[in-house]
Amino acid sequence: MNISLTINGKSYSHDVEPRLLLIHFLRDVAGLTGTHMGCETSLCGACTVELNRKAIKSCTMFAVQANGAEIVTVEGLANDGKLDPVQEAFWNEHGLQCGFCTPGMIMASKQIIDRNAAPSEEEIRHGLEGNVCRCTGYQHIVNAVKAAAAGAGK
Amino acid sequence: MATTTTKTETFVGKRIRRREDPRLITGTATYVEDIQMPGMHYAVILRSPHAAARIRSIDTKKAENATGVACVFTGKDTKGVGVVPCGIAMPDLRVPQHNILATDRVYFVGHPVAVVVARDRYLARDAADLIEVDYEVLPAVADPEKALAKGAPAVHPQWPDNIAFTYHQDGGNVDKAFAEADVVAKQRIVSQRLVPMAMETRGVVAEWRGADRQLNLYTSTQIPHLVRTLVAGMLGLEENRMRVIAPEVGGGFGSKLNVYAEEALMGFVSMRIQKPVKWIESRRENFTCTIHGRGHVDYYEIAAKRDGTILGIKLKLIQDVGAYHQLLTPLIPQLSVLMMPGLYNTQNIRADIVGVFTNCVPTDAYRGAGRPEATHGIERMVDILAAELKLDPAEIRLKNFVAKDKFPYSTATGLMYDSGDYSTPLKKALDLVGYVKLRQEQADLRKQGKYMGIGISTYGEICAIGPSPATPAGGWESATVKIEPTGKVTILTGACPHGQGEETTFAQIAADELGVGLDDILVVRGDTAIVQYGIGTFGSRATAVGGTALYYALEDLKAKIKKFGAMLLESDDVTLAGGQVVCNKTGKSKTFQEIAGASYRALKLPPNTEPGLVATRFWEPPNFTFPFGAHIVVTDIDDETGQIQVRRYVAVDDCGNILNPLIVDGQVHGGVAQGLGQALWEQAVYDDNGQLITGELMDYALPRAHLMPWIESHHTCTPSPVNPLGVKGVGEAGTIGCSPAVVNSVVDALSPLGVRHIDMPLTPEKIWKLLAKKN
């Protein structure tokens, strides 16, 4: 099947098998390997990307379902070498260790701030329920989201 | 040309954000799965659905003829490949032959049976479904105590008693201690099997370059050099013809401190098909086929005087081995025995380990590796003892700690604790949590029928692993420092850090020693073709051992820089500071960069000095280090649902000198999360047929953001005398300190109901049942 979609502002049009997962389209067809496969069952969130401005898990969606969609991946956040405030906050607050969950975590965090400019700690923690990090114990991630929200609100 | 910045600013001890992060936060880091090569093929492994079965036949014809399939291999094809190695030698150790693919029998669910290689991952998976294996299912045993019972199915038919090894250790006079005791407390304590669950599953890319007789192996590992030595051996390759690259590694926690069948298998496949091949472990495979941690059943006895003085400890430790020994499997419970006295001054111990084969995936090192089990045991026993003697759990600990003036302290288990001050972190934690007030509050709540608990754990650990005689491979670590002609500094570390932040902390050490900026330094790791032989990152060792190797390499170079500086300044009286060599008499100076350039240009050399500024050191530590600390957990129990709410988590950790507090905090938080995971949620559950019923994230409960309490992380500082940096290690501290504090807290909360012990995980169901019995 032929699908056309926009990823990080760039148009892609490809013939794909109907069973091709969106994450494999992103990684193997578009060559954007920042989005990671962590569990294949939408339980860990490492594959989180933004699809039509909503955070979704790209491991349990077919590429054909994203036909016509606008997708943003972690590679699309920094602008002209300037990091997105959420990326910057993850860096400043040590919100990552091995980094494998980080792209999905950053995309989920962006969504939290997009929906709620001043999330409380509890709201942040609940917003991150679907994203697993095995390294940080989440505390520095919570700090990062708080810092990013505070910065964005300035 | 960029110049090397010379600085008087120092970096060690500061909260400096990590230098490895830009690639990770932008999604541009390269993990194994991100590697693409022309002509690359994809492997899918067919695995046993049965825990125990004889393989009558395997028919691979349909799979071989399927679209896109290059080849299918079974155990018959890989007979020439060496066995998966066990790195531990001990008397009477029974080592089953661990082939990379099953031959005539399978021993656990997930046992690799065949490998399918195709040009596309989807096609490879399709073809794997076409392989027909005729199994004769056999009885299995998944519980180590059941496996020891008479008449249990034999995991390996040649050893009907299922005993994999035994180990005995005696210290002091334990019989006398128990004879003289006023009280002996006994308890069976389980440290359940856990799934390490690194976020990145394992993965391998093998690239055989036939014309060069060269195998490049990209693998998600904590130990690339050891993988090279051992996998080259399995494949019959000369070691210098093999290059192992650990690219970005997405977490290990011990699960990648190993040599796995798939690493050799992919090498074998690539050599056979003369093409690069990639295998990425699925999450289901990660649960069923990557090592598990813990898996203890411990029978403790602790002897004491009426005043709480601990006289001796006995331990019968049953270790669930699984079906095979992986690299370090039999070593892990021995670490528990070494750590068995904890922080307490008792010279009488007796331990008996029995390692038991079960039809499960092998156990091996998982964050803490033996020490969390030991700490859980001793810290639970001390609380049980305190309860029996009606003593305060803080008081009984303070009474029994090894005193501050007794270090270095020889333990009953043969260790020499390097330095310690055990009461200070406990007293600090008690102050921070407001212990006295909390006890009053608890008394008030109890009158209202409410359950609130205060749990203390004071832990010690064996870190900076370790002196070579005490480790299965070398226990040293290596570092090379290259100061390039432009004055830029490249550090090659053998420690292969993978998330622990040494690209930053090592740069901090070097920047301070050389007096240059952090941006002038690059830390390189994880490639055996670039980095000198090294051991790896595990056992909280990378900074304490690898950082020390770096420190000594820097000392060598500083001496050489001074020699060149003295020559250029024509003076013997010079000082190296702030990135310059200064003549103490004239005040004239030469910059770091001028000296580096002169050392390579070599127009003139100091006497007996070679050109260039490169130094390599392999540092052998004289001892382990022994961090310690106190964790206090306050819990509130919902008596209607059995839900445990962690109200406060106070951690006071002493890991010696701290190079970067931001990174140390992160290590403590992550460690605590894994400890809390074990205490409250996680458990690898096999049913009686050996099926892993918690074999996916849907069924295996992990700590998630909304479940984690706020961790109040504090420190005391007792530098280690073992290394010149005074560091001890902190990677495992949180995990080791955590679980007994949580269980002690919940048992304390429920003690009015007569509850004296609860095995982990403390699920709401378990707690609710305890509450329901009394209501």
Cβ–Cβ of B31/A90 closer than 8 Å?
no
Does B2 have pLDDT greater than 70? Answer: no
Rounded distance, CA A34 to CA A46, Å?
10
CB contacts < 8 Å between A and B, how many? 175
Residue B5 predicted with pLDDT over 70? no
CA dihedral in degrees (B713, B715, B719, B720; nearest 10)? -40
pLDDT at A124: 98
Neighbours of B150 (CB within 10 A): 6
pLDDT of B7 reads 59
What is the C-alpha separation between A117 and A149, in angstroms, rounded? 6
Question: What confidence score (pLDDT) does residue B773 get?
Answer: 81
pLDDT digits (tens, 9 = 90+) for B445-465: 999 999 999 999 999 999 999
Residues of chain B found within 8 Å of residue A57, distances taken between Cβ atoms: none
Least confident range from A118-132, B178-192, B575-589: namely B575-589
Please give the DSSP secondary-structure letter assigned to residue B696.
S
Percentage above 70 pLDDT, chain B: 99
Q: Both ends of chain A: CA-CA distance in Å? A: 46
User: Which pLDDT belongs to residue B590?
Assistant: 95
Q: pLDDT tens digits, residue range B612-636?
A: 999 999 999 999 999 999 999 999 9
Q: pLDDT tens digits for B75-131? A: 999 999 999 999 999 999 999 999 999 999 999 999 999 999 999 999 999 999 999
Q: Kindly determine whether residue A137 and residue B20, on different chains, have CB atoms separated by under 8 Å.
A: no
Residue B577, pLDDT score:
87
Cβ–Cβ gap B670/A128 under 8 Å = no
Q: What residue of A is the nearest CA neighbor of B503?
A: A97
- Considering only CB atoms, which chain B residues are within 8 Å of A36? 31, 33, 199-200, 250
Query: CB distance B673–A32 less than 8 Å?
Result: no
Cα–Cα distance, A18 to B654 (Å, whole number): 56
Reduced to 3 states, what is the DSSP secondary structure of residue B565? helix
| Cβ neighbours of B199 in A, within 8 Å | 36, 38, 44, 46, 98, 100-101, 132-135
Contact between B25 and A125 using a beta-carbon 8 Å cutoff: no
Residues of B in contact with A103 (CB under 8 A): 27
Partner-chain residue, chosen from B26, B29, B705, that has the shortest CB–CB distance to A87: B26
Q: What is the DSSP string of B509-540?
A: HHHHHHTB-GGGEEEE-SBTTTSPP---S-TT
Q: Which residues of A touch B665 (CB under 8 A)?
A: 94, 139-140
Q: What is the pLDDT of residue B4?
A: 56
Name the residue among A99, A121, A125 with its Cβ closest to that of B248: A99
Say whether residue B279 is in contact with chain A using an 8 A CB cutoff. no
Query: What average pLDDT does the segment B377-404 reach?
Result: 98
Q: Which residues of B touch A146 (CB under 8 A)?
A: none
Check A136 against B669: CB less than 8 A apart.
Answer: yes
State pLDDT tens for residues B243-298.
Answer: 999 999 999 999 999 999 999 999 999 999 999 999 999 999 999 999 999 999 99
pTM beyond cutoff 0.90: yes
What per-residue confidence (pLDDT) applies to B1? 39
Say if residue A132's pLDDT is above 90. yes
If residue A149 lies in a helix (H) or strand (E), which one and from where to where? helix A139-152
Q: Which residues of A touch B705 (CB under 8 A)?
A: 124-126, 128-129, 131, 133, 138, 141-142
pLDDT at site B300: 98
Nearest to B644 by CA among B774, B748, B735: B748
CA B749 – CA A60 distance, rounded (Å): 43
* Closest B-chain CA to A33: B34
State chain B's mean pLDDT as an integer.
Answer: 97
- Element at B41 (helix H, strand E): strand B41-47
Identify the closest residue of chain B to A102 by CA–CA distance. B25
pLDDT tens readout for residues A60-107 = 999 999 999 999 999 999 998 899 999 999 999 999 999 999 999 999
Nearest chain A alpha carbon to B500: A97
Nearest to A87 among B25, B29, B34 (CB): B25
In this structure, are residues B614 and B481 in contact, taking their beta carbons and an 8 Å threshold?
A: yes
Q: Does B301 touch chain A (CB under 8 A)?
A: no
Determine the pLDDT at residue B578. 84
Pairwise CB contact (< 8 Å): B706 & A135: no
Task: Identify which of B28, B666, B705 has the shortest CB distance to residue A94.
Answer: B666
Distance from CA of A70 to the nearest CA of B (A): 19
Asked if B25 is an interface residue toward chain A (Cβ–Cβ < 8 A), one would say: yes
How crowded is the C-beta side of B55, counted as CA atoms within 13 Å?
Answer: 24
Sheet arrangement for strand B574-577: B574-577, B580-583, B589-591
Please state, in angstroms and rounded to a whole number, the distance separating the CA atoms of residues B138 and B161. 17
- Which of B67, B704, B708, B738 best tests the A interface by mutation, with the highest count of A CBs <10 A? B704
Optimal mutation site among A71, A109, A139, interface B, most CBs of chain B within 10 A = A139
